[in-house]
Chains A and B, each alone.
Chain A
Amino acid sequence: AQTIHQWPVAEIKAVGSPLSLGCTIKGKSSPNLYWYWQATGGTLQQLFYSITVGQVESVVQLNLSASRPKDDQFILSTEKLLLSHSGFYLCAWRERDRSSYEQYFGPGTRLTVL
């Protein structure tokens, strides 16, 4: 069975500090991977997606970057946090060749920027 793990569970960071959030998928080879951001009480906004190692596409600019260093790993980062980066970050995966395009989500990371 596939498992998706996100780390850390929660972070409290200062404005201007760097950030790195991680996502790992186990039990699935070569998945498509996605990062989403959710404001408190809000809807989800897709940030990035990746269909293979080393390739990342940006969907919306929020002064964040993403990388896929390994087949099962997706990293979200920034060198300087803004207050507006606070929220809930969710990683998702889907099978690359499956026609139904179903995306499955991880447990999320709660980020508070002070």
Chain B
Amino acid sequence: GEQVEQRPPHLSVPEGDSAVIICTYTDSATAYFYWYKQEPGAGLQLLMSVFSNVDRKEEQGLTVLLNKKDKQLSLNLTAAHPGDSAVYFCASTSSGQKLVFGQGTILKVYL
């Protein structure tokens, strides 16, 4: 079945810098990709969804790139601020029912 490897597990950046998180997936049939944000003790907030026919998507300071050749999905937070500090997860699905998650990245944005 689909496996998703996410890196780095921890990421610390100063305010104003970019933060990049990368996920590598295994199943070429994967159709949909997602990025979620989880704050301490809370549920997951959907940040962005990307269909497999999209190479790049930008929304509200976030850029998602999809490299189908290398089976890589990346999330770039431009100009990060302390409020972006959280755990970020990538996820993917080909069936629509089973969502497979990456291991998560703990992002800390410091002043």
Contact = CB atoms under 8 A, between A and B. Distances in A.
A109 to B, nearest CB: 10
Contacts, number: 52
B103 interface: yes
Interface in A88-114: 90, 92, 100-108, 110
Interface in A56-114: 57, 59, 90, 92, 100-108, 110
B89 interface: yes
Given A43-B104, A100-B32, A100-B51, A32 B97 contact: yes
B41 A44 contact: no
Give the dominant DSSP class at B's interface. strand
Contacts of B89: 43-44
30 contacts: A32-B97, A34-B99, A43-B101, A43-B102, A43-B103, A44-B91, A44-B99, A46-B98, A57-B97, A59-B98, A90-B44, A92-B44, A100-B32, A100-B49, A100-B51, A101-B31, A101-B32, A102-B34, A102-B46, A102-B49, A103-B34, A103-B46, A105-B36, A105-B44, A105-B45, A105-B46, A106-B43, A107-B42, A108-B41, A108-B43
Main secondary structure of the interface of A (DSSP, over half): strand
Interface residues of B, number: 24
Interface string B48-92: 010100000000000000000000000000000000000001010
